[in-house]
Amino acid sequence: MKKTGADILVQCLLNEGVEIVFGCPGGANLPIYDAMYRAGVRHILVRHEQGGAHMADGYARATGKVGCCMATSGPGATNLVTGLGTANMDSVPVVAITGQVKSWLIGNDAFQEADVVGITRPVTKHNYLVKNVDELAQTIKDAFHIARTGRPGAVLVDIPSDVQLAETEFIQPREVSLPGYKPRVEGHPGQIQRAIDALNAAERPVLYVGGGAISSGACPELLELAEKGRIPVTCTTMGLGAFPGGHELSLGMLGMHGSQYANNAVQDSDLLIAVGARFDDRVTGQPETFAPQAKKIHIDIDPAAISKTVPVDIPIVGDVRDVLVQFNRQINREEPTEWLNQIEKWRRQHPLKWKSEDGKLLPQYVIHRISEMTQGNAIVASDVGQHQMWVGQYYRFNRPRHFLQSGGLGTMGFGLPAAIGAAFAGLPDPVVCISGDGSIQMCIQEFATAVYHRLPVKLFIINNGHLGMVRQWQELFYGNRIMASDMTGNPDFARVAEAYGAVGLHVEHAEEVDAAIDKALSTKDNLVVVDFIVEPYENVWPMVKPGTAINDMMGTISEMA
């Protein structure tokens, strides 16, 4: 039986296991909306397509499934760009479906026309313009395969409205048709053996773990390796949760705002095993000075990530989980007691701690209480800025897929929609968003989406009245010339929340913090927004000055005392 392109698309989405679509309709994708209506697809109307892309992304980060979002042609499609770039930089599987003007109008400056395939090429893993209805089913199959395999990423499929309306025989393709795309799954046995020998011989090894460990599902294997080999573990912000934060071998986060002890351990190590991490400049500081004495092993599914910024000695291209299974079979090491004692000494000398002053409500304290009161079990989406780094430092993540944040692109506006996407996944853990007064205003319209669907998202705004991270850099590196980072003119966020139908709370004193968090956690059928008015000039410490070595940190506790 013949079907329209729109019906075929919807059937293909269902066959790919899509349970929910986040989007906004328009003239160029109405046939798809009509087909979704008839098929009973669960669709969430977003207030801005950027929010839709972040929701699909948050859903994917929290569940490991492919997230799906939709937009009309032109401005709808261009509004997706930031969200697709955000997902793609962090290797999150998202498929975006955009409507396009009719095939014969493409290139004619038609109403609501944009070359979205051209515009999104640099920010997606792959993208397609479907010119013929007969190619549609195969394209969707290939798009989902590309999004979820290898190094996962964002894929966009642009479908002109005449292709949506055209009819053809629907045959569900069985195989993907991508002869040139064969992501390597098994690491090279010779390289793995070299790496295992190096590990067995190392005296000061460190595991440096990124988001790839989470997306490949390698966390149990990582724990086994660390425990068997007694290897300390430090995580990038993307890797937090891959290894239990409370474990004695956990060093927490490394890099620009990591702990001094994590950075010292990396810099002094004789073997660094990078596990699904990409040697980002926020981690390495000046690349030439990064872990100078260490032999470097890099396990990653993406060959393009190997030796991109820091040369590695033993590259292993393959699925992180598969490779760690092989490590665990052959690991045979003595306890590196001296090394672990040295790290303990650094931990005692430079603890991660804030300086409490009477009466001031400090952001670190608020985040510490959120961590304690949720026992490290919440799914926490954060935005971008100082609060994001404090979450990395003071929220003790126990499990993977519980920290959703824009690590690569650093997208303000990501947090709330990502939390909404995660909340739609219906997981048992509470969903929390920790945002800043600057970031929240970049997607604040999604309050409506959360309230309409009675989602129990808890939004904690760390309100310092500034674009705090920018202000910190201006203070430290631009002679305290505060330009364009003062947020005077902010609305009363609790009242904005109420105007949308959410619960709004206002907190200015430390004694009120627990009651507000408690109220948020116990509200099961609505968005709760807590506006924490915190000390405006607090800085994130410690900090590596850009362009220096990562153990050369400003503001560690021993210095401040």
Ligand X SMILES: Cc1ncc(C[n+]2csc(CCOP(=O)(O)OP(=O)(O)O)c2C)c(N)n1
218 vs 462 by CB, closer to ligand X: 462
Least separation in angstroms between residue 414's CB and ligand X is: 9
Least separation in angstroms between residue 292's CB and ligand X is: 30
Spatial distance between the Cα atoms of 312 and 195, rounded to a whole number of angstroms: 12
Q: How many helices (H) and strands (E) does the chain have?
A: 23, 22
Of the candidates 120, 386, 405, 551, which one interacts with ligand X according to CB under 6 A? 386
290 vs 532 by CB, closer to ligand X: 532
223 within 8 A of 244, measured Cβ to Cβ = yes
186 vs 508 by CB, closer to ligand X: 508
Interface with ligand X in residues 452-481 (CB under 6 A):
462, 464, 466-470
> Does 387 engage in binding with ligand X (CB under 6 A)?
yes
Residues 6 or more apart in contact with residue 164 via CB below 8 angstroms = 4, 5, 6, 9, 29, 31, 32, 99
Least separation in angstroms between residue 396's CB and ligand X is: 19
Least separation in angstroms between residue 410's CB and ligand X is: 4
- Could you tell me how far CA 384 lies from the centroid of its own chain? 11
| 398-427 footprint of ligand X as x/- string (CB under 6 A) | ------------xxxx--------------
Spatial distance between the Cα atoms of 242 and 151, rounded to a whole number of angstroms: 17
> Does 91 engage in binding with ligand X (CB under 6 A)?
no
Least separation in angstroms between residue 210's CB and ligand X is: 20
Q: Hey, is 433 helix, strand or coil?
A: strand
80 within 8 A of 49, measured Cβ to Cβ = yes
> Does 81 engage in binding with ligand X (CB under 6 A)?
no
Of the candidates 250, 284, 439, 449, which one interacts with ligand X according to CB under 6 A? 439
62 vs 470 by CB, closer to ligand X: 470
Least separation in angstroms between residue 483's CB and ligand X is: 12
> Does 237 engage in binding with ligand X (CB under 6 A)?
no
Of the candidates 210, 385, 421, 504, which one interacts with ligand X according to CB under 6 A? 385
Q: CA 327 → CA 196, 202, 229, 345, distances in Å? A: 6, 14, 10, 29
Least separation in angstroms between residue 82's CB and ligand X is: 7
Least separation in angstroms between residue 217's CB and ligand X is: 30
> Does 367 engage in binding with ligand X (CB under 6 A)?
no
Count of residues interacting with ligand X (CB under 6 A):
21
Of the candidates 268, 383, 446, 538, which one interacts with ligand X according to CB under 6 A? 383
Structure tokens at 382: 């954060």
261 vs 460 by CB, closer to ligand X: 460
Query: Sign of the C-alpha dihedral, residues 284, 327, 325, 144?
Result: positive
Spatial distance between the Cα atoms of 514 and 361, rounded to a whole number of angstroms: 12
CA atoms within 13 A of residue 295's CA, in its CB half-sphere: 16
Which residue stretch of 44-52, 89-97, 385-393, 444-452 sits at the interface with ligand X (rule: CB under 6 A)? Answer: 385-393
Least separation in angstroms between residue 444's CB and ligand X is: 12
Of the candidates 23, 205, 315, 436, which one interacts with ligand X according to CB under 6 A? 436
Closest CA to 547 of 278, 253, 281, 267: 281
Spatial distance between the Cα atoms of 31 and 504, rounded to a whole number of angstroms: 39
Least separation in angstroms between residue 465's CB and ligand X is: 8
156 vs 412 by CB, closer to ligand X: 412
Of the candidates 256, 277, 283, 384, which one interacts with ligand X according to CB under 6 A? 384
Neighbours of 118 (CB within 10 A): 10
Least separation in angstroms between residue 61's CB and ligand X is: 18
Neighbours of 117 (CB within 10 A): 18
Spatial distance between the Cα atoms of 351 and 214, rounded to a whole number of angstroms: 27
> Does 23 engage in binding with ligand X (CB under 6 A)?
no
Spatial distance between the Cα atoms of 7 and 486, rounded to a whole number of angstroms: 50
86 vs 139 by CB, closer to ligand X: 86
Which residue stretch of 148-156, 253-261, 309-317, 381-389 sits at the interface with ligand X (rule: CB under 6 A)? Answer: 381-389
| Backbone region of residue 382 per phi and psi (left: phi > 0; alpha: psi in -120 to 50; beta: other values) | beta
Host H or E run for residue 120 = helix 116-120
Structure tokens at 434: 């920790």
Residue 234 buriedness (CB in 10 A; 0-12 / 13-18 / 19+):
buried
- Supply the angle between the helices 189-201 and 320-330 in degrees, to the nearest 10: 50
Host H or E run for residue 317 = strand 314-317
242 vs 434 by CB, closer to ligand X: 434
Least separation in angstroms between residue 473's CB and ligand X is: 9
Least separation in angstroms between residue 389's CB and ligand X is: 8
170 vs 473 by CB, closer to ligand X: 473
229 vs 392 by CB, closer to ligand X: 392
412 vs 423 by CB, closer to ligand X: 412
3-state helix/strand/coil string of 456-468: CCEEEEEECCECH
Contacts with ligand X, residue ranges (CB under 6 A): 383-387, 410-413, 436-439, 442, 462, 464, 466-470
